[in-house]
């Protein structure tokens, strides 16, 4: 009943930018707006890694690979979290997952493919 629904996949060229989104459904606005959110990614053969987090107050944190290129943001009235990815690199190719951290809810994943 509680779901995190992510936007569709993207096929990009190196150097381009894309934004992916995650919408919370079946969850109250109060719960969503007080929950820290995160984006993870997993490439084939690799472990899932944390890319970015945003607290209920809007404080952000990024993996070293994402700093300076990626931006996590949230729109609480729309129960939505975004990940803007600039200056894409082939090594950014992965399935990206949205996560509501305290309750451990996960989105279904978004495939982002970056070609050189």
pLDDT digits (tens, 9 = 90+) for 52-103: 999 999 999 999 999 999 999 999 999 999 999 999 999 999 999 999 998 9
**How many Å apart are CA 14 and CA 33, to the nearest integer?**
34
Question: What ranges in the chain are assigned the alpha helix state H?
Answer: 29-33
Q: With bands split at pLDDT 50, 70 and 90, how would you rate the model's confidence at 1?
A: confident
Among candidate residues 45, 85, 82, the one with its CA nearest the CA of residue 65:
85
Please say whether the beta carbons of 2 and 26 come within 8 A: yes
Q: Average pLDDT over the chain, rounded to whole?
A: 96
Torsion on CA atoms 65, 6, 75, 34, rounded to nearest 10: -90
**Which of 15-19, 29-33, 103-107 has the highest mean predicted lDDT (pLDDT)?**
15-19
Question: At residue 2, does pLDDT exceed 90?
Answer: no
């Amino acid at each position: 009943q509680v779901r995190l629904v992510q936007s569709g996949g993207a096929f990009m060229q190196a150097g381009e930018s894309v934004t992916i989104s995650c919408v919370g459904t079946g969850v109250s606005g109060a719960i969503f707006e007080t929950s820290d959110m995160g984006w993870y990614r997993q490439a084939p053969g690799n472990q899932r890694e944390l890319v970015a987090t945003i607290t209920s107050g809007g404080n952000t944190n990024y993996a070293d690979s994402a700093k300076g290129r990626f931006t996590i943001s949230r729109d609480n009235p729309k129960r939505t979290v975004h990940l803007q990815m600039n200056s894409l690199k082939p090594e950014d190719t992965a399935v990206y997952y949205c996560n509501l951290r305290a309750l451990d809810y996960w989105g279904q994943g978004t495939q982002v493919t970056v070609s050189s």
